[in-house]
Structure 1
Amino acid sequence: MDRPGPQGRHPGWPARLGPLQVPAGLVAVRGPRLLDGSAWSKIRLRDREHLERWEPTAPGTWDDRNATLAWPGQWSSLRALARRGMTLPFVITVDGQLAGQVTVGNVIRGSLCSAWIGYWVASHVVGGGVAPAAVALVVDHCFMLAGLHRIEATVRPENTASLRVLEKLGFRQEGLFRRYLDVAGAWRDHLAFALTAEDVPDGLVYRLLADGRATIPQ
Protein backbone atom coordinates (compact mmCIF):
# COMPACT_ATOMS: atom_id res chain seq x y z
CA MET A 1 0.00 0.00 0.00
CA ASP A 2 2.88 2.38 0.76
CA ARG A 3 4.91 3.66 -2.14
CA PRO A 4 7.79 5.50 -0.52
CA GLY A 5 10.38 7.56 -2.27
CA PRO A 6 14.10 6.88 -1.84
CA GLN A 7 14.94 6.37 1.81
CA GLY A 8 17.92 8.24 3.14
CA ARG A 9 18.76 10.26 6.20
CA HIS A 10 15.10 10.91 7.07
CA PRO A 11 13.07 7.71 6.55
CA GLY A 12 9.46 7.91 5.47
CA TRP A 13 9.70 10.91 3.18
CA PRO A 14 8.55 11.37 0.48
CA ALA A 15 5.68 8.87 0.29
CA ARG A 16 2.34 8.16 -1.39
CA LEU A 17 -0.11 6.17 0.71
CA GLY A 18 -3.34 4.36 -0.11
CA PRO A 19 -5.82 4.22 -1.63
CA LEU A 20 -8.63 3.09 0.65
CA GLN A 21 -12.28 3.00 -0.35
CA VAL A 22 -14.63 4.69 2.15
CA PRO A 23 -18.21 5.98 1.77
CA ALA A 24 -17.01 9.39 0.58
CA GLY A 25 -14.80 7.93 -2.16
CA LEU A 26 -11.27 6.75 -2.82
CA VAL A 27 -8.89 8.18 -0.18
CA ALA A 28 -5.17 8.57 -0.79
CA VAL A 29 -2.43 10.61 0.83
CA ARG A 30 0.59 12.26 -0.82
CA GLY A 31 3.07 15.06 -0.32
CA PRO A 32 1.93 18.63 -0.99
CA ARG A 33 2.63 20.16 -4.40
CA LEU A 34 3.09 23.75 -5.45
CA LEU A 35 0.16 23.41 -7.86
CA ASP A 36 -2.17 22.49 -4.97
CA GLY A 37 -2.55 26.16 -4.09
CA SER A 38 -5.76 26.95 -5.93
CA ALA A 39 -7.67 23.88 -4.70
CA TRP A 40 -6.33 24.31 -1.16
CA SER A 41 -7.35 27.97 -1.03
CA LYS A 42 -10.81 27.33 -2.46
CA ILE A 43 -11.59 24.81 0.29
CA ARG A 44 -10.04 26.85 3.08
CA LEU A 45 -11.90 30.05 2.18
CA ARG A 46 -15.20 28.23 1.68
CA ASP A 47 -14.88 26.28 4.93
CA ARG A 48 -13.80 29.11 7.23
CA GLU A 49 -16.65 28.52 9.68
CA HIS A 50 -15.94 24.79 9.68
CA LEU A 51 -12.19 25.17 10.31
CA GLU A 52 -11.24 28.43 12.00
CA ARG A 53 -12.66 27.68 15.45
CA TRP A 54 -10.40 24.62 15.82
CA GLU A 55 -7.12 25.97 14.46
CA PRO A 56 -4.31 27.79 16.30
CA THR A 57 -4.48 31.57 16.33
CA ALA A 58 -2.15 33.08 13.71
CA PRO A 59 -1.24 36.57 12.52
CA GLY A 60 -3.23 38.18 9.71
CA THR A 61 -6.75 37.63 8.49
CA TRP A 62 -8.22 34.28 7.51
CA ASP A 63 -8.57 35.43 3.89
CA ASP A 64 -4.93 36.50 3.71
CA ARG A 65 -3.57 33.34 5.36
CA ASN A 66 -5.59 31.08 3.08
CA ALA A 67 -5.38 32.92 -0.22
CA THR A 68 -3.86 31.13 -3.20
CA LEU A 69 -0.85 33.43 -2.94
CA ALA A 70 -0.24 32.23 0.65
CA TRP A 71 0.23 28.62 -0.45
CA PRO A 72 3.73 28.82 -2.01
CA GLY A 73 5.20 30.01 1.28
CA GLN A 74 3.46 27.27 3.24
CA TRP A 75 4.43 24.64 0.70
CA SER A 76 8.07 25.76 0.75
CA SER A 77 8.16 25.74 4.55
CA LEU A 78 6.62 22.28 4.77
CA ARG A 79 9.02 20.90 2.18
CA ALA A 80 12.02 22.40 3.99
CA LEU A 81 10.93 20.90 7.32
CA ALA A 82 10.34 17.52 5.66
CA ARG A 83 13.80 17.57 4.10
CA ARG A 84 15.27 18.27 7.55
CA GLY A 85 13.36 15.33 9.01
CA MET A 86 11.27 17.48 11.34
CA THR A 87 7.87 17.05 9.66
CA LEU A 88 5.98 14.61 7.43
CA PRO A 89 3.42 16.76 5.58
CA PHE A 90 0.66 15.23 3.47
CA VAL A 91 -2.44 16.30 1.59
CA ILE A 92 -5.53 14.12 1.48
CA THR A 93 -7.23 13.39 -1.82
CA VAL A 94 -10.68 11.92 -2.42
CA ASP A 95 -11.21 10.53 -5.91
CA GLY A 96 -8.06 12.38 -6.92
CA GLN A 97 -9.21 15.80 -5.64
CA LEU A 98 -7.61 17.61 -2.71
CA ALA A 99 -9.82 17.32 0.38
CA GLY A 100 -7.64 18.10 3.40
CA GLN A 101 -4.28 17.74 5.07
CA VAL A 102 -2.52 15.48 7.56
CA THR A 103 0.67 16.72 9.18
CA VAL A 104 3.08 14.80 11.39
CA GLY A 105 5.14 17.38 13.25
CA ASN A 106 7.84 17.77 15.88
CA VAL A 107 9.47 14.54 14.76
CA ILE A 108 12.05 13.53 17.36
CA ARG A 109 14.37 10.60 16.80
CA GLY A 110 16.85 9.00 19.17
CA SER A 111 15.51 7.36 22.31
CA LEU A 112 12.07 9.03 21.97
CA CYS A 113 11.04 8.42 18.32
CA SER A 114 7.90 10.48 18.77
CA ALA A 115 5.76 13.01 16.86
CA TRP A 116 2.33 14.65 16.91
CA ILE A 117 -0.34 14.34 14.23
CA GLY A 118 -2.87 16.95 13.14
CA TYR A 119 -5.50 16.86 10.40
CA TRP A 120 -8.40 18.66 8.76
CA VAL A 121 -10.82 17.66 6.01
CA ALA A 122 -13.16 19.63 3.79
CA SER A 123 -16.72 20.04 5.06
CA HIS A 124 -18.25 18.16 2.13
CA VAL A 125 -16.49 14.90 3.09
CA VAL A 126 -17.01 15.07 6.86
CA GLY A 127 -18.71 11.89 8.05
CA GLY A 128 -17.66 9.96 4.98
CA GLY A 129 -14.75 8.10 6.56
CA VAL A 130 -12.06 10.29 5.01
CA ALA A 131 -10.29 11.50 8.16
CA PRO A 132 -10.03 8.06 9.81
CA ALA A 133 -8.71 6.53 6.58
CA ALA A 134 -6.13 9.27 6.03
CA VAL A 135 -4.94 9.23 9.64
CA ALA A 136 -4.73 5.43 9.62
CA LEU A 137 -2.61 5.45 6.46
CA VAL A 138 -0.23 8.04 7.89
CA VAL A 139 0.09 6.50 11.36
CA ASP A 140 0.84 3.08 9.89
CA HIS A 141 3.47 4.71 7.70
CA CYS A 142 4.99 6.43 10.73
CA PHE A 143 5.24 3.18 12.70
CA MET A 144 6.54 1.14 9.78
CA LEU A 145 8.68 2.95 7.21
CA ALA A 146 9.24 6.21 9.12
CA GLY A 147 10.52 4.35 12.18
CA LEU A 148 8.55 6.22 14.85
CA HIS A 149 7.35 4.62 18.07
CA ARG A 150 4.77 7.06 19.50
CA ILE A 151 2.21 9.35 17.86
CA GLU A 152 0.37 11.98 19.90
CA ALA A 153 -2.73 14.04 19.14
CA THR A 154 -4.38 16.89 21.05
CA VAL A 155 -8.01 17.87 20.55
CA ARG A 156 -10.32 20.40 22.18
CA PRO A 157 -13.03 18.65 24.22
CA GLU A 158 -15.68 20.46 22.18
CA ASN A 159 -14.39 19.10 18.85
CA THR A 160 -16.62 16.04 18.74
CA ALA A 161 -15.90 15.22 15.09
CA SER A 162 -12.15 15.03 15.68
CA LEU A 163 -12.64 13.08 18.89
CA ARG A 164 -14.67 10.50 16.97
CA VAL A 165 -11.81 10.05 14.51
CA LEU A 166 -9.35 9.23 17.27
CA GLU A 167 -11.82 6.99 19.09
CA LYS A 168 -12.56 4.99 15.92
CA LEU A 169 -8.85 4.40 15.49
CA GLY A 170 -8.27 3.38 19.10
CA PHE A 171 -6.12 6.29 20.28
CA ARG A 172 -5.68 6.19 24.06
CA GLN A 173 -6.73 9.25 26.06
CA GLU A 174 -3.90 10.14 28.43
CA GLY A 175 -4.95 13.36 30.09
CA LEU A 176 -6.07 16.96 29.84
CA PHE A 177 -3.75 19.86 28.99
CA ARG A 178 -5.09 23.01 30.66
CA ARG A 179 -4.95 26.21 28.57
CA TYR A 180 -2.66 24.34 26.19
CA LEU A 181 -2.98 26.21 22.90
CA ASP A 182 -4.15 29.60 21.66
CA VAL A 183 -7.10 28.75 19.40
CA ALA A 184 -9.57 31.28 18.00
CA GLY A 185 -8.12 34.00 20.18
CA ALA A 186 -8.11 32.29 23.60
CA TRP A 187 -6.08 29.70 25.51
CA ARG A 188 -7.99 26.42 25.20
CA ASP A 189 -7.90 23.14 27.09
CA HIS A 190 -7.01 20.10 24.98
CA LEU A 191 -7.43 16.38 25.56
CA ALA A 192 -4.23 14.41 25.01
CA PHE A 193 -4.27 11.14 23.04
CA ALA A 194 -1.51 8.78 21.97
CA LEU A 195 -0.69 5.49 20.29
CA THR A 196 2.51 3.49 20.35
CA ALA A 197 3.57 0.90 17.82
CA GLU A 198 2.85 -1.90 20.32
CA ASP A 199 -0.78 -0.78 20.57
CA VAL A 200 -1.48 -1.65 16.93
CA PRO A 201 0.79 -4.50 15.84
CA ASP A 202 -1.38 -5.16 12.78
CA GLY A 203 -1.79 -1.46 11.92
CA LEU A 204 -4.68 0.98 11.93
CA VAL A 205 -5.64 0.26 8.32
CA TYR A 206 -6.18 -3.37 9.28
CA ARG A 207 -8.45 -2.18 12.11
CA LEU A 208 -10.55 -0.12 9.67
CA LEU A 209 -10.80 -3.06 7.28
CA ALA A 210 -11.74 -5.48 10.05
CA ASP A 211 -14.45 -3.09 11.30
CA GLY A 212 -15.88 -2.71 7.80
CA ARG A 213 -15.13 1.03 7.74
CA ALA A 214 -12.91 0.80 4.64
CA THR A 215 -11.95 -1.59 1.86
CA ILE A 216 -8.96 -1.94 -0.41
CA PRO A 217 -10.00 -1.28 -4.01
CA GLN A 218 -9.52 -4.15 -6.43
Structure 2
Amino acid sequence: MSAVASWPVVLSHGPVTLRPWRLTDRGAWDEIRRRNASWTGPWDSTRPHDSPEPPLTFAGMVRQFNRRARHGGMLPFAVDYRGPGERRGVLAGQLTISGITHGSAGWAQAGYWVDQRWAGRGIIPVALALASDYCFFTLRLHRMEVAIRPENARSLRVVEKLGFRYEGVRQRYMHVDGDWRDHAMFALHVEEVGPGLLARLEDQP
Protein backbone atom coordinates (compact mmCIF):
# COMPACT_ATOMS: atom_id res chain seq x y z
CA MET A 1 0.00 0.00 0.00
CA SER A 2 1.09 3.55 -0.68
CA ALA A 3 2.36 5.70 2.18
CA VAL A 4 1.04 8.83 0.45
CA ALA A 5 -2.49 9.98 1.22
CA SER A 6 -4.74 10.33 -1.81
CA TRP A 7 -7.57 12.70 -1.00
CA PRO A 8 -10.53 12.33 -0.99
CA VAL A 9 -10.75 9.24 1.23
CA VAL A 10 -13.99 7.45 2.18
CA LEU A 11 -13.99 4.74 4.86
CA SER A 12 -17.03 2.69 5.88
CA HIS A 13 -17.98 -0.05 8.29
CA GLY A 14 -21.59 -1.06 8.90
CA PRO A 15 -23.71 2.06 9.46
CA VAL A 16 -20.70 4.39 9.92
CA THR A 17 -19.04 6.23 7.03
CA LEU A 18 -16.14 8.69 7.14
CA ARG A 19 -16.06 11.09 4.20
CA PRO A 20 -14.72 14.51 3.25
CA TRP A 21 -16.67 17.60 4.22
CA ARG A 22 -18.80 19.21 1.52
CA LEU A 23 -19.97 22.80 1.21
CA THR A 24 -23.52 21.41 1.09
CA ASP A 25 -23.08 20.16 4.69
CA ARG A 26 -23.43 23.69 5.99
CA GLY A 27 -27.14 23.49 6.88
CA ALA A 28 -26.71 20.23 8.79
CA TRP A 29 -23.52 21.53 10.45
CA ASP A 30 -25.19 24.74 11.64
CA GLU A 31 -28.18 22.84 13.02
CA ILE A 32 -26.07 20.24 14.82
CA ARG A 33 -23.64 22.74 16.30
CA ARG A 34 -26.48 24.99 17.50
CA ARG A 35 -28.39 22.09 19.04
CA ASN A 36 -25.25 20.62 20.65
CA ALA A 37 -23.77 23.87 22.00
CA SER A 38 -23.90 22.77 25.64
CA TRP A 39 -22.92 19.18 24.76
CA THR A 40 -19.73 19.96 22.81
CA GLY A 41 -18.95 23.49 24.02
CA PRO A 42 -16.81 22.54 27.05
CA TRP A 43 -14.58 20.42 24.78
CA ASP A 44 -14.41 22.57 21.63
CA SER A 45 -11.06 24.01 20.61
CA THR A 46 -10.94 27.81 20.58
CA ARG A 47 -8.41 30.47 19.63
CA PRO A 48 -6.62 32.80 22.05
CA HIS A 49 -7.85 36.39 21.95
CA ASP A 50 -4.52 37.49 20.45
CA SER A 51 -4.47 34.85 17.71
CA PRO A 52 -3.37 36.37 14.38
CA GLU A 53 -5.67 34.01 12.47
CA PRO A 54 -9.15 35.32 11.60
CA PRO A 55 -12.22 33.22 12.47
CA LEU A 56 -13.15 30.63 9.86
CA THR A 57 -16.50 30.47 8.15
CA PHE A 58 -17.86 26.98 7.43
CA ALA A 59 -16.93 27.35 3.75
CA GLY A 60 -13.45 28.51 4.74
CA MET A 61 -13.06 25.53 7.06
CA VAL A 62 -14.05 23.07 4.32
CA ARG A 63 -11.69 24.63 1.79
CA GLN A 64 -8.81 24.78 4.28
CA PHE A 65 -9.39 21.20 5.42
CA ASN A 66 -9.48 19.85 1.88
CA ARG A 67 -6.39 21.82 0.87
CA ARG A 68 -4.42 20.46 3.83
CA ALA A 69 -5.72 16.97 3.15
CA ARG A 70 -4.59 17.09 -0.48
CA HIS A 71 -1.10 18.01 0.79
CA GLY A 72 -1.12 15.00 3.13
CA GLY A 73 -1.20 16.91 6.42
CA MET A 74 -4.59 15.84 7.72
CA LEU A 75 -7.65 13.67 7.19
CA PRO A 76 -10.72 15.81 7.98
CA PHE A 77 -13.71 13.49 8.08
CA ALA A 78 -17.41 14.12 8.43
CA VAL A 79 -18.99 11.14 10.21
CA ASP A 80 -22.23 9.85 8.72
CA TYR A 81 -24.49 7.38 10.50
CA ARG A 82 -27.25 5.28 8.94
CA GLY A 83 -29.84 4.38 11.55
CA PRO A 84 -31.76 1.08 11.61
CA GLY A 85 -34.10 0.85 8.63
CA GLU A 86 -32.70 4.01 7.04
CA ARG A 87 -31.51 3.97 3.43
CA ARG A 88 -29.20 6.99 3.78
CA GLY A 89 -26.86 8.22 6.47
CA VAL A 90 -27.06 11.56 8.23
CA LEU A 91 -24.29 13.79 9.50
CA ALA A 92 -23.60 12.62 13.05
CA GLY A 93 -20.22 14.04 14.01
CA GLN A 94 -16.65 14.80 13.09
CA LEU A 95 -13.33 12.98 13.28
CA THR A 96 -10.13 14.75 12.29
CA ILE A 97 -6.68 13.23 11.94
CA SER A 98 -4.23 16.14 12.12
CA GLY A 99 -0.50 16.71 12.27
CA ILE A 100 0.28 13.80 9.96
CA THR A 101 4.06 13.46 9.94
CA HIS A 102 6.06 10.87 8.04
CA GLY A 103 9.80 10.20 8.14
CA SER A 104 11.44 9.61 11.50
CA ALA A 105 8.32 10.66 13.45
CA GLY A 106 5.55 8.70 11.74
CA TRP A 107 2.71 9.97 13.87
CA ALA A 108 -0.65 11.77 13.85
CA GLN A 109 -3.31 12.90 16.31
CA ALA A 110 -7.06 12.25 16.34
CA GLY A 111 -9.88 14.44 17.61
CA TYR A 112 -13.62 13.79 17.49
CA TRP A 113 -17.14 14.66 18.59
CA VAL A 114 -20.59 13.16 18.06
CA ASP A 115 -24.08 14.65 17.91
CA GLN A 116 -25.77 14.03 21.28
CA ARG A 117 -28.73 12.61 19.36
CA TRP A 118 -26.58 9.63 18.32
CA ALA A 119 -24.41 9.27 21.43
CA GLY A 120 -24.14 5.79 22.91
CA ARG A 121 -24.41 3.92 19.60
CA GLY A 122 -20.69 3.21 19.23
CA ILE A 123 -20.29 5.57 16.29
CA ILE A 124 -17.08 7.28 17.37
CA PRO A 125 -15.24 4.10 18.47
CA VAL A 126 -15.89 2.68 14.99
CA ALA A 127 -14.86 5.97 13.36
CA LEU A 128 -11.63 6.19 15.36
CA ALA A 129 -10.85 2.53 14.65
CA LEU A 130 -11.40 3.02 10.90
CA ALA A 131 -9.26 6.14 10.72
CA SER A 132 -6.47 4.71 12.89
CA ASP A 133 -6.29 1.51 10.86
CA TYR A 134 -6.04 3.60 7.69
CA CYS A 135 -3.19 5.60 9.21
CA PHE A 136 -1.34 2.51 10.43
CA PHE A 137 -1.80 0.19 7.47
CA THR A 138 -2.22 2.50 4.46
CA LEU A 139 -0.23 5.59 5.42
CA ARG A 140 2.27 3.42 7.33
CA LEU A 141 2.34 5.69 10.35
CA HIS A 142 3.85 4.38 13.56
CA ARG A 143 1.95 6.26 16.27
CA MET A 144 -1.55 7.61 16.85
CA GLU A 145 -2.25 10.06 19.67
CA VAL A 146 -5.46 11.33 21.24
CA ALA A 147 -5.48 14.33 23.60
CA ILE A 148 -8.49 14.50 25.93
CA ARG A 149 -9.41 16.83 28.73
CA PRO A 150 -9.33 14.74 31.94
CA GLU A 151 -12.91 15.80 32.77
CA ASN A 152 -14.33 14.47 29.50
CA ALA A 153 -15.56 11.07 30.66
CA ARG A 154 -17.38 10.20 27.43
CA SER A 155 -14.31 10.80 25.30
CA LEU A 156 -12.15 8.85 27.73
CA ARG A 157 -14.41 5.84 27.31
CA VAL A 158 -13.71 5.83 23.56
CA VAL A 159 -9.95 5.44 23.92
CA GLU A 160 -10.34 2.97 26.77
CA LYS A 161 -12.63 0.84 24.61
CA LEU A 162 -10.01 0.73 21.85
CA GLY A 163 -7.10 0.06 24.20
CA PHE A 164 -5.20 3.33 23.84
CA ARG A 165 -2.39 3.56 26.38
CA TYR A 166 -2.41 6.43 28.91
CA GLU A 167 0.83 8.42 28.80
CA GLY A 168 0.25 11.22 31.29
CA VAL A 169 -0.96 14.82 31.35
CA ARG A 170 0.36 17.69 29.25
CA GLN A 171 -0.25 20.93 31.10
CA ARG A 172 -1.98 23.81 29.29
CA TYR A 173 -1.65 21.79 26.11
CA MET A 174 -4.44 23.22 23.97
CA HIS A 175 -6.78 26.21 23.89
CA VAL A 176 -10.25 24.81 24.63
CA ASP A 177 -13.43 26.54 25.77
CA GLY A 178 -11.68 29.89 26.11
CA ASP A 179 -8.46 29.01 27.95
CA TRP A 180 -5.34 26.85 27.84
CA ARG A 181 -6.35 23.47 29.25
CA ASP A 182 -4.51 20.42 30.54
CA HIS A 183 -5.00 17.28 28.44
CA ALA A 184 -4.53 13.60 29.19
CA MET A 185 -2.52 11.93 26.43
CA PHE A 186 -3.27 8.50 25.01
CA ALA A 187 -1.37 6.69 22.27
CA LEU A 188 -0.95 3.47 20.35
CA HIS A 189 1.94 2.26 18.22
CA VAL A 190 1.38 0.06 15.21
CA GLU A 191 3.16 -2.82 16.97
CA GLU A 192 0.41 -2.78 19.61
CA VAL A 193 -2.65 -3.09 17.38
CA GLY A 194 -2.26 -6.55 15.86
CA PRO A 195 -4.72 -6.96 12.96
CA GLY A 196 -6.13 -3.52 13.69
CA LEU A 197 -8.45 -1.54 15.94
CA LEU A 198 -11.57 -2.40 14.01
CA ALA A 199 -10.85 -6.11 14.53
CA ARG A 200 -10.21 -5.39 18.21
CA LEU A 201 -13.52 -3.60 18.50
CA GLU A 202 -15.43 -6.40 16.81
CA ASP A 203 -13.87 -8.98 19.15
CA GLN A 204 -15.38 -7.28 22.17
CA PRO A 205 -18.54 -8.86 23.64
TM-score (norm 2): 0.89
Question: What is residue 175 of structure 1 aligned with on the other side?
Answer: 168
Q: Does 1:188 align with 2:177?
A: no
Report the Cα distance in structure 2 between the residues aligned to 1:44 and 1:177, rounded to whole angstroms: 28
> How do residues 1-218 of structure 1 correspond to structure 2 at under 5 angstroms?
10-11=4-5, 13-20=7-14, 26-58=15-47, 70-95=57-82, 96-212=89-205
3-state DSSP class of the match of 1:15?
coil
Helix, strand or coil for the counterpart of 1:141?
Answer: helix
**Residue 19 of structure 1 aligns to which amino acid in structure 2?**
H
Contact 1:32/1:89 (CA < 8 Å) preserved in 2? yes
Shift of 1:186: 2.2
Q: How many residues align?
A: 195
Distance of aligned partners of 1:112 and 1:9 in 2 relative to their CA distance in 1, 3 Å threshold: closer
Corresponding letter in the other structure for 2:65: L
Q: Judging changes above 3 Å, is the alpha-carbon distance between structure 1 residues 159 and 75 closer, same or farther for their aligned structure 2 residues?
A: same
Flag as ranges the 4+ runs of structure 1 deviating above 4 A: none
* Cα offset, 1:11, TM superposition: 2.2
Identity %: 43
Counterpart code for 2:152: N
5+ unaligned residues in a row in structure 1: which ranges? Answer: 1-6, 21-25, 213-218
> What is the Cα deviation at residue 30 of structure 1?
1.1
- Partners of 1:145 and 1:82 in 2: how far apart? 15
1:13: Cα distance to partner? 3.1
Aligned with 2:10: secondary structure? strand
What TM-score results when the alignment is normalised by the length of structure 1? 0.84
Check 1:8–1:168 CA distance in 2 against 1; reply closer, same or farther (3 A cut): closer
8 Å Cα contact 2:2/2:138 also seen in 1: no
Q: Within 2, Cα distance between the matches of 1:202 and 1:144?
A: 9
Unaligned runs of at least 5 residues, structure 2: 83-88
Question: 2:86 — aligned with what?
Answer: none
Whether contact under 8 Å (1:92, 1:99) holds in the other structure is yes
CA-based RMSD of the aligned residues comes to 2.1
